[in-house]
Structure 1
Amino acid sequence: MIRTRDEGPIRVVTLDRPNRRNALTRDGLDALARAVDTTDAAVVYLEGAGTAFCAGADLDVLRSLDGDDAAAFADRGQRTMNAIETADAVVVAGIDGPARGGGVELALAADVRVATPDATFAEPGVSLGVFGAWGGTRRLLEAVGETHATDLSYSGRTVDASEALAMGLVSRIVDDPYTVAVEIAANDPAALRELKGLLAAPRPHREQERHEREAFERLLEDGLE
């Protein structure tokens, strides 16, 4: 499900489950964290195989959750997103096609988010009676501010690449996001590492993540419809 290949100073991490729009399972989350943790590359480039970036959590997994299982799954996702956020490497998310729910949370955990013209973004969990609990409530607020974060979260609506750029959800729209990873990797790796330590300094967020887990658990106590 998670493929890696190393291209000089760049590790390419591919979510390779195109028949499920690269939706993430428990094993997929663990493999994603390992892929980011086990490299000395200056840059990690995240991409999705096929026509989607990532559909978020696999719905079959969500439907199997109740009570403590839901809290454990949220915790697993938070650990993975925190591993991406705190990686030594600069993490670039190349979003081509749909990013939904946990797929948006995955993109938000990256340092740089770059979209193609075909990228779209949505937090549709609210329509299913659930929401993303992988640290996305904090990161979305930080990325786009309260006005846009509340609109996206409460409505579940889909935004295209142009609107995502305008609100600050992505930094660029390009035909090939990998070129941005190459551009960043051309710089001095020690300088990149030092800069990341300053720009992505840990913020007080554990309390927010605990609230996410607890709310996610409450919503799934009786299972997902």
Structure 2
Amino acid sequence: MAGDAEYTIDELARVAETTVRSVRVYHERGLLPSPEVRGRIGYYGADHLHRLQTISRLLSRGMQLNGIRELLDAWDRGDGLATVLGVPEPEPPVPVEVANAPTPAAEPVVPAPASFPATSRPIDWSTTPRCADLAARLVDTGLAAEDARRLLERLRADCDRIADEYSSPLFWSLARQAYERSDRAPEAEARLETDLAIARLIVTRAAAELIDQAFGRYAEPTA
């Protein structure tokens, strides 16, 4: 166990400002590890306390126990942040070398290459499989591979600009403000980590909703 503190179940519930019944429910639902049993008494440590505090914060933000268990399981496995946040795993990229894909023989009716100027930071296709899939599909429709690459790079650059403009006020309000006002003890740092993960999830989902609505205007048959 991390730290030197030890608690019986009654002490743990009191320190975590919850109930013994809740602690037992979390055990049954797989959210809380078992205590160290010595004799007939179970002893809990600082890790259990931090886990309980995290569960309480997530519950206060409207998450259900099943979702919290999945999040904590992913965290314990050391999964990447996207997995911890519950973002679906990306589909395997279509096996097309976008940058080197041959231009179709037919002359496509597409914007000229000048319409898609190159950006200063190329896309890493290995970390953006959905972008790779989209680029490959664009190539299949007749768009030149270089134009498809540049178009996706422009889209990524616009997303970077959105994040640069809005991340500071959003993440400050949702997570960092409370940390700056705290005593910055280890417990506060642990809470900041959780709050930032939750903030990223909330902001990403809200942005995805707005983007979906924006693109939806152009997906209508009469658009």
TM-score normalised by the shorter chain: which range applies?
under 0.3
The structure showing larger relative contact order (alpha-carbon pairs under 8 Å, at least 6 residues apart) is 1
TM-score between both structures, scaled by the size of structure 1: 0.23
The structure number with the bigger radius of gyration is 2
Normalising by structure 2, what TM-score?
0.23
